[in-house]
Chains A and B, each alone.
Chain A
């Protein structure tokens, strides 16, 4: 398999602190892989190890079939990246910063600078010093620097960080276009599940340095908790009817009846019929899916912690 990214038992330890441990993952060609985790979960440490900026204390990483070694100049010709905040030389203009990025990737034609400015909608800021850019435009500049040499693989650390909703949509479309039209591969980190679920084909969830789960978007949908919520005028009577029918129902504090049983969620029309026949027709009936963020927090074991706060 020619996976653009492969890690085997990758780990990084700082003294007694295990920043990343036993990380084994594969990212397939043409895939958008989202690396999801809370702040401090080990996302950036993993990205820095993938880019040869820090030495792993265990295991190894392969990027574009090359084993990553610290300080090496392989395989970066076809890799674009953005790590943490998008810093630029504040005294140089947007154009000059891109010119610097171009010269750091020998063989990139001079016209690439203009093309990137156009592609990332930076035309109005081309002559402005990078130090005066808003966070959103600085993020665009960071992405333009990562893309300037037309890389096969993009490694992006929180690419939508600081962007406004329009900017997030724009970046999402740009990244989708990159993979669909050019067959590029993207490995991106994020701490917002809702954001990556619309973009990524596969999601790896990291918590406290460990990969908890890998799932594709279909699995994500299946794994999310669902429930049927009912509102009726006579709560007591409706509840008794449901219990008598062998359906475990619970009355919530706001008077809503909650059903978690799979058959209830799959066939809400049957529940409706049952209640209509018993003379307590529902005034509201709704299948609710667990929010992505709730699902994520449940997965990393932080849902109870937040509820208690």
Chain B
């Protein structure tokens, strides 16, 4: 059954249909949220917020749109809200040196190491995370959407409320910052 039919059934009061949508999209939303935050705990929260928000806003989903794309847009907004909240908390935190304050890509260490994690040297991982941490929330969102989700600049602009040229410049800035941060590694 197509996502649009599922959505229609949910709107008709069939909660179980929403369970199928959650089941189908949870992992992709988690990956997106993790890339946006660099933190498992935050990513888990964003996944839940995304589905709760999507459930409430399901009537705004248009039949001609792709459900996955729409859901990703909801997730991006949830992630941006989350990052803003984190930033506010950081600003309120007093007495901690900047590098000890929790934040995206340098906050709670992730749980159990996976084989992938072990393969990647700790130093390399740190540098990659550091490079991502240099991006602003908007740049990170735009970059993740473009690079990992394959969204067009137009779609990114719509999702982030930016005009075409502003969305494009956001991507340019993000790429430039990443390249600058990763240049020494690329050379070595």
| Chain A complexes with chain B | no
Interfacial residues, chain B to chain A (CB-CB below 8 A): none
Interfacial residues, chain A to chain B (CB-CB below 8 A): none
